[in-house]
Structure 1
Amino acid sequence: MMTKIYDDDRIYFPEDPELRVLGDREKLAQWRHRMTGPAFIRIGRRIGYHGTDLNAYLSAQRVDPNGEAA
C-alpha cells in the first residue's frame, strides 16, 4: 500500500499549497474541464477535492517498471 500524501478527512481547495504536487491551479482547471484528473466536488461556486479522492488518484497513477505488485 502506498503512503497517503493527503489527509483523508480534509477538503483541499485549488489554492492550497498541498495541491502543487498535482500541478498549478490552471492545470487543475484544465483537468476539470476535460473531466480528467482527480474527482472533485462543487461547493457553491468553489471547487474542492476530498483527501480520499486525491490519494486514490495518486495510487491509480502508480507505474511499476518492474511489474511487481504493490
Structure 2
Amino acid sequence: MPNLFENDRNYVLGDPELDLIGDRAKLAQWRHKMKGPAFYKLGRKVIYRGSDLNAWAQANRTDPNENGAV
C-alpha cells in the first residue's frame, strides 16, 4: 500500500492532511479514549508522526478479497 502520509513529517492539529482520518473532534475523542493513531502531547500541542499515521492506516485496512472471498 502506498503511504498516505509522509513518513518523515510531523503533523499537527489543523494540518489538512489529518482530515483523511478524521476531523479535529474525532481525533480528540480517539485521544481521550486512547484509540486511533499514536501521538505525542507536548504541553497543549498534539503531534502525529507520519510513520505512525501510515502504520495505523495499514493496521486498519480492510480487503474484501481476503478470507477466501471471490
Unaligned runs of 5+ in 2: none
Offset from partner CA, 1:9-58 (integer Å, 9 cap, x none) = 11101110000001110000000000000000112220000000000000
Regions of 4+ moved over 6 Å: none
Number of residue pairs matched by the alignment: 67
Provide the aligned C-alpha RMSD in A: 1.1
TM-score normalised per structure 1: 0.90
Give the 3-state SS of the residue equivalent to 1:26 in structure 2.
helix
| Uncovered stretches (5+) of structure 1, i.e. residues with no partner | none
How do 1:39-50 and structure 2 match up within 5 A?
39-50=38-49
Q: Which has the larger radius of gyration?
A: 2
State how 1:20-59 maps to structure 2 within 5 Å: 20-59=19-58
State the alpha-carbon separation in 2 of the partners of residues 55 and 64 from structure 1.
16
TM-score normalised by the chain length of structure 2: 0.90
Identical counterparts, % of pairs: 54
